[in-house]
Structure 1
Amino acid sequence: MSKQEQLKLGRLGDFIGFRLRRVQNHLAKDFENATKDYNLRSGLFSSLALIAANPGVSQNEVAKTVGLDKSVAVQIIDELEHRGLARRERSKVDRRRHALYITDEGQIFLNELFDILDDNEKRVLRQMSDSEQSLLKALLDRIYDVL
């Protein structure tokens, strides 16, 4: 469908959530297509990225940040551990919880995925200047902080 043939958004166009979801759906589909050989399940990439950025993070903190149900987060952490991408250790601060760490293999895997994600988003973001991209990120962060 060409730009001239696109459906009118009507009242939906007034809602930022709808507009954000449309963009996210397209970006996610492009990333999914580019990574189909990596056998990623939903939440695996973002969970691994958070573990890498926050060594010692808890499963609950990952689940909350990614927006996953705790039981789904446990399954994802199990899979990361099974694939040798992350490991659990008993927390030295709170023995009731596990601290999560990325493995060397996990870091290599994550770097490959970030390269794919970077290529995927550059195609879209090159439509904006650096300052527009910075503004967009800042505005999205402000929206998230309110939520």
Structure 2
Amino acid sequence: MTEGAIKGGTLPGSSVAASQSGRRNRREIDLDVLTQHLGYFLRRAQVWVFQDFIKTLSAIDLRPAQYSVMVVIGANPGLSQAELAERLAIERARLVHMLDHLQKRGLTERLPSPTDRRTHALQLTREGQ
């Protein structure tokens, strides 16, 4: 077995290699030093997890970031947009757009803050819960 075969991610002669090459007629691509970087494999795992998450929640049209926002709001009713943005490291403009979308769908609502007139208190609606 050659070092290049190992770096490519699929072993020659294996059923996976045979089915992939027969199915697609593609040559094996050498990943070179990527196979030595943990970050590369973590990123690949993240992509697979997100794809599975998106597929699983496709029936209710909820993306991973939206799910995170709703979970944190549900656990912290009355949280401000600024606190939420900071805690989840989401740009404020992006969060505002996401909250607008979730509010239009009837999943979240913005209420006047009881302690600060300049902010909104976030909470899930009955449907969002």
Give the TM-score normalised by the residue count of structure 1: 0.60
Please identify which structure carries the higher helix content.
1
Conserved in 2, the CA contact under 8 Å of 1:43 and 1:66? no
Report the alpha carbon displacement of residue 66 of structure 1 after superposing the two structures with TM: 3.0
Report the alpha carbon displacement of residue 41 of structure 1 after superposing the two structures with TM: 4.4
1:103 equivalent to 2:92? Answer no
Q: Post-superposition, which runs of at least 4 consecutive aligned residues in structure 1 deviate over 6 A?
A: none
1:75 equivalent to 2:97? Answer yes
Which structure has the higher relative contact order (CA within 8 Å, separation 6+)? 1
Q: Secondary structure at the match of 1:19?
A: helix
CA distance in 2, matches of 1:97, 1:62: 12
| RMSD of aligned alpha carbons | 2.6
**What whole-Å deviation, never above 9, does each CA across 1:72-92 have from its counterpart, x for those lacking one?**
100111112111111111112
1:19 equivalent to 2:48? Answer no
Equivalenced residue count is 107
Conserved in 1, the CA contact under 8 Å of 2:9 and 2:31? no
Report the alpha carbon displacement of residue 62 of structure 1 after superposing the two structures with TM: 2.0
Counterpart code for 2:59: D
Structure of higher CA gyration radius:
2
Report the alpha carbon displacement of residue 29 of structure 1 after superposing the two structures with TM: 0.3
CA distance in 1, matches of 2:35, 2:122: 41
Q: Unaligned stretches of 5+ in structure 2? A: 1-7, 12-16, 18-27
The percentage of counterpart residues that share the same residue type is 36
**What whole-Å deviation, never above 9, does each CA across 1:80-118 have from its counterpart, x for those lacking one?**
2111111111112221111101122111xxxxxxxxxxx
**Which position in structure 2 is the counterpart of 1:36?**
58
